[in-house]
C-alpha cells in the first residue's frame, strides 16, 4: 500500500481535532490542503476555490447541513464529500447524509484508512468526469496520450476507465503498433497503483532460458553462474503493475508459475523454498489470437481465463480511418516541437492518401512516416508528392480505379453521353457506334431519365 494521495488533489478539511490534524499533516503532504475549523470558514473557501474533496467532521456542519448540501449539489460533478463521525453516531450520520456524502470515515482512524478512502473517492471523481465527457458525446481526442476520435477508440477509452477502477487482470489484443503498451500505461497511471512501479517485460525479447529468472529472481547458487541473489520483475513491481507483452511466447513452465501468482498471489525465487507474496496487477498483451492458441493447446486454458478478466481489443488503423487526420496533426506538432521547427501542415491531398493507405504497421508506421518527413523537409506545407511512394500510390490507385465504385448503369450512361457528345447529339450515328438500334438507345436514355417519356 502506497501511503500517498494523488499529487494534483485539492482537499478542504473541516475538522479541528488535534489527533486528526497530526494525521493530515503527516499523510497529506503532497496534496493541496486547506484546513479550517468551521463550516462558515469552509463555505467562504468554497466560494473562491476549487476543491476535489471535502472532508468534514459531522459535528462541525450539523446545524448548517442544508447549506452545505446545496453547495455540493451545485458543484456535484466536481466535488465529493467525506463525512467523519464516531462509531456511536455513525448510523444516524449515514442516514442524515445519505445521497450527499460519497463516503464515511469512523473516528478514530489511521493514516492508511485515511489515504485509502481519499484515493478511492478521488478515483470515483475522475471516472465521473471521464464518463461525463464520454456520455455527453464530447469525444475525447487525447486520452492520456492516446489520440482518437473514432467510435471504436472512444469505446476503448471507456474500457480503460473501467479497468483502471479495479485491480483485475487485463488482456490487450491488437495488431503490432496499435497502441497496446500505451493502453497498459493509461490503465496503470489511472489506477490506485499509479504511484507504485509499472514494469514492462517483453516476453519475446528475453531468451527463454533467462525469462524465468528475470521474472521471479534467483538466490545465490540456484544455477551455475548465480554468484549472488537477484530479485525479479515481480518483486520490483510490488504494489504496482507488471505488463507482460507478447504473452503467448512464454514457456509451459513459466505459464504454471504465472498461474500460481494469479491464483495465490505467491511465487518462489529460483532455488529458494521461501514463498514470496506478489501484490501485482498483471496486464498482458498479444498481437496473436490468444483464444485460438489456447484452443490449439499452445497456451493453458486456466491461465488464459484468469489473465483475460478484462479484454481490451485495439482495432487496426485501417478500421478507424477517421483518426488518421488528428493523428497526423498530433505527430506533426510533436516532431516540429522536438526539432524546434515552425508548424508544418499537410494538404488535403496528402491526408487523403494517408487515409487510403492500409497501414500494416498501424500507428507506429504512421508516426515513423511523419517523423521522417518532418526531419527531412524544409517546406512548411507537405503535399501528396512529398509522401513515400507507396503511400502516394494508394491515392493514385484509387483515382485510377475510381470507376470501380460506380454501377454498371452509371458507367453505361456516362459512355452513352460521351458518344452523344462526340456525335454532337446525333442519335442515329450514336446508335451505330454503340452497335444498338435507335429504339434501344431511346429506351436507354428514357430509362436513365435523360429524355422525357412522352
Ligand atoms: N492512439 C494513439 N495515439 C497516439 N500515439 C499512439 C497511439 N497508439 C499508438 N501510439 C504510438 O505508436 C507507437 C506504438 O505504440 P505501442 O508500442 O503502444 O504499440 P503496440 O501495440 O504495443 O505494438 P507492438 O505489438 O509492436 O508491441 C508508440 O510510439 C505509441 O506512442
Ligand atoms: Mg508493444
The pLDDT tens digits for 306-325 are 999 999 999 999 999 999 99
Q: What is the pLDDT of residue 454?
A: 43
Retrieve residue 140's grid coordinates. Answer: 475525447
With beta carbons less than 8 A apart as the criterion, state whether 83 and 104 touch. yes
Q: How deeply is 249 buried, as exposed, middle or buried, from its count of CB atoms within 10 A (0-12, 13-18, 19+)?
A: middle
Residue 2 pLDDT > 50: no
Measured distance CA(69)–CA(53) in Å, rounded: 14
What spacing in Å lies between the alpha carbon of 252 and ligand 1's midpoint? 28
| Mean pLDDT score, 174-199 | 93
Task: Fill in the DSSP letter of residue 269.
Answer: -
Q: Please state the pTM of the whole predicted model.
A: 0.65
Ligand 1 atom closest to 178 (CA): 21
Alpha helices for 57-166 (secondary structure H): 58-61, 65-74, 90-96, 111-135, 151-164
Q: What is the mean pLDDT of the chain?
A: 86
Residues with CB under 5 A from ligand 2 (ion): 180-181, 245
Ligand 1: residue whose CA is nearest its atom 26: 176
Backbone phi and psi for residue 34, each to the nearest 5 degrees, phi listed first: -125, 120
In 3D space, the residue among 315, 271, 55, 59 whose CA is nearest the CA of residue 172 turns out to be 315
Ligand 1 atom closest to 287 (CA): 25
Cα–Cα distances (Å) from 394 to 224, 373, 384, in that order, read 56, 18, 11
Residue 13 pLDDT > 50: yes
The pLDDT tens digits for 62-87 are 666 666 777 666 655 578 889 999 88
In this structure, CATH architecture of domain 406-447: Orthogonal Bundle (1.10)
Measured distance CA(46)–CA(338) in Å, rounded: 41
Q: Which CATH class is domain 318-402?
A: mainly alpha
Q: What is the pLDDT of residue 411?
A: 80
The residue extents of the domains of the chain are 10-132, 142-313, 318-402, 406-447
In 3D space, the residue among 115, 124, 119 whose CA is nearest the CA of residue 24 turns out to be 115
Pocket mutation for ligand 1, best pick of 287, 360, 363, 367 (most atoms within 8 Å of C-beta)? 363
Measured distance CA(366)–CA(244) in Å, rounded: 25
SS3 call for 154: helix
Higher pLDDT among residues 400 and 101, named by residue? 101
The pLDDT tens digits for 87-118 are 888 888 888 888 788 889 998 898 888 888 88
What spacing in Å lies between the alpha carbon of 179 and ligand 1's midpoint? 3
What spacing in Å lies between the alpha carbon of 272 and ligand 1's midpoint? 38
Beta strand 32-36 with 10-14: parallel, antiparallel or unpaired?
A: parallel
Pocket of ligand 1 (CB under 6 A): 146-148, 174, 176-182, 245, 287, 363-364, 367
Pocket mutation for ligand 1, best pick of 178, 200, 372 (most atoms within 8 Å of C-beta)? 178
Q: What is the pLDDT of residue 303?
A: 96
Pocket mutation for ligand 1, best pick of 148, 160, 173, 177 (most atoms within 8 Å of C-beta)? 177
Ligand 1: residue whose CA is nearest its atom 10: 179
Q: What is the pLDDT of residue 1?
A: 43
Q: Torsion angle, CA of 262/267/269/270, rounded to 10 degrees?
A: -80
Q: What is the pLDDT of residue 137?
A: 46
The CATH superfamily of 142-313 is P-loop containing nucleotide triphosphate hydrolases (3.40.50.300)
Ligand 1 atom closest to 202 (CA): 27
Pocket mutation for ligand 1, best pick of 139, 146, 171, 179 (most atoms within 8 Å of C-beta)? 179
With beta carbons less than 8 A apart as the criterion, state whether 163 and 144 touch. no
The closest ligand to the CA of 244 turns out to be: 2
The pLDDT tens digits for 116-149 are 888 888 877 776 766 565 444 444 567 778 999 8
Cα–Cα distances (Å) from 120 to 127, 187, 196, 313, 334, in that order, read 11, 15, 16, 27, 34
The pLDDT tens digits for 208-238 are 889 999 999 999 988 888 888 899 999 999 9
Same fold, 142-313 and 406-447: no
What spacing in Å lies between the alpha carbon of 22 and ligand 1's midpoint? 45
The CATH superfamily of 10-132 is Response regulator (3.40.50.2300)
Residue 29 pLDDT > 90: no
Q: Torsion angle, CA of 278/279/283/289, rounded to 10 degrees?
A: 50
Amino acid at each position: 500500500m502506497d501511503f500517498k494521495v494523488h499529487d494534483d488533489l485539492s482537499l478542504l478539511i473541516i475538522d479541528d481535532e488535534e489527533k486528526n490534524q497530526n494525521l493530515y499533516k503527516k499523510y497529506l503532504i503532497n496534496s493541496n490542503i486547506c484546513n479550517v475549523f468551521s463550516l462558515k470558514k469552509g463555505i467562504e473557501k468554497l466560494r473562491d476555490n476549487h476543491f476535489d474533496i471535502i472532508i468534514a467532521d459531522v459535528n462541525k456542519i450539523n446545524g448548517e447541513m442544508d447549506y452545505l448540501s446545496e453547495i455540493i449539489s451545485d458543484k456535484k460533478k466536481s466535488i465529493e464529500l467525506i463525512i467523519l463521525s464516531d462509531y456511536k453516531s455513525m448510523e444516524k450520520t449515514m442516514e442524515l447524509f445519505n445521497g450527499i456524502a460519497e463516503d464515511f470515515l469512523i473516528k478514530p482512524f489511521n493514516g492508511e484508512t485515511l489515504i485509502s478512502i481519499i484515493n478511492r473517492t478521488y478515483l470515483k471523481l475522475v471516472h465521473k468526469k471521464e464518463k461525463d465527457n464520454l456520455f455527453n458525446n464530447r469525444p475525447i481526442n487525447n486520452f492520456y496520450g492516446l489520440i482518437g476520435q473514432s467510435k471504436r477508440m472512444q469505446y476503448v477509452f471507456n474500457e480503460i476507465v473501467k479497468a483502471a477502477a479495479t485491480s483485475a487482470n487485463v488482456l490487450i489484443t491488437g495488431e503490432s503498433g496499435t497502441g497496446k503498451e500505451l493502453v497498459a500505461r493509461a490503465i496503470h497511471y489511472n489506477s490506485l497503483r499509479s504511484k507504485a512501479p509499472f514494469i514492462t517485460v517483453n516476453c519475446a525479447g528475453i531468451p527463454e532460458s533467462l525469462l524465468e529468472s528475470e521474472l521471479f529472481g534467483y538466490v545465490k547458487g540456484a544455477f551455475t553462474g548465480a554468484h549472488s541473489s537477484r530479485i525479479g520483475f515481480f518483486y520490483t513491481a510490488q504494489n504496482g503493475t507488471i505488463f507482460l507483452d507478447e504473452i503467448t511466447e512464454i514457456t509451459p513452465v513459466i505459464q504454471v508459475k504465472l498461474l500460481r501468482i494469479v491464483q495465490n498471489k505467491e511465487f518462489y525465487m529460483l532455488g529458494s523454498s521461501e514463498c514470496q507474496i506478489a501484490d501485482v496487477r498483471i496486464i498482458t498483451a498479444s498481437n496473436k489470437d490468444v483464444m485460438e492458441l489456447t484452443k490449439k493447446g499452445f497456451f493453458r486454458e486456466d491461465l488464459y481465463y484468469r489473465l483475460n478478466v478484462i479484454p481490451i481489443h485495439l482495432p487496426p488503423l485501417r478500421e478507424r480511418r477517421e483518426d488518421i487526420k488528428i493523428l497526423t496533426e498530433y505527430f506533426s506538432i510533436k516532431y516540429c516541437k522536438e526539432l524546434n521547427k515552425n508548424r508544418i501542415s499537410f494538404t488535403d491531398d496528402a491526408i487523403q492518401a494517408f487515409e487510403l493507405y492500409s497501414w500494416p504497421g498501424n500507428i507506429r508506421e504512421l508516426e515513423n512516416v511523419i517523423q521522417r518527413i518532418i526531419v527531412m523537409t524544409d517546406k512548411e506545407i507537405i503535399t501528396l508528392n512529398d509522401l513515400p511512394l507507396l503511400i502516394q500510390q494508394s491515392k493514385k490507385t484509387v483515382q485510377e480505379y475510381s470507376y470501380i465504385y460506380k454501377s454498371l448503369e452509371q458507367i453505361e450512361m456516362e459512355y452513352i453521353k460521351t458518344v452523344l457528345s462526340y456525335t454532337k447529339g446525333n442519335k442515329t450515328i450514336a446508335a451505330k457506334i454503340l452497335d444498338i438500334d435507335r429504339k434501344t438507345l431511346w429506351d436507354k436514355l428514357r430509362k436513365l431519365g435523360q429524355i422525357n417519356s412522352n
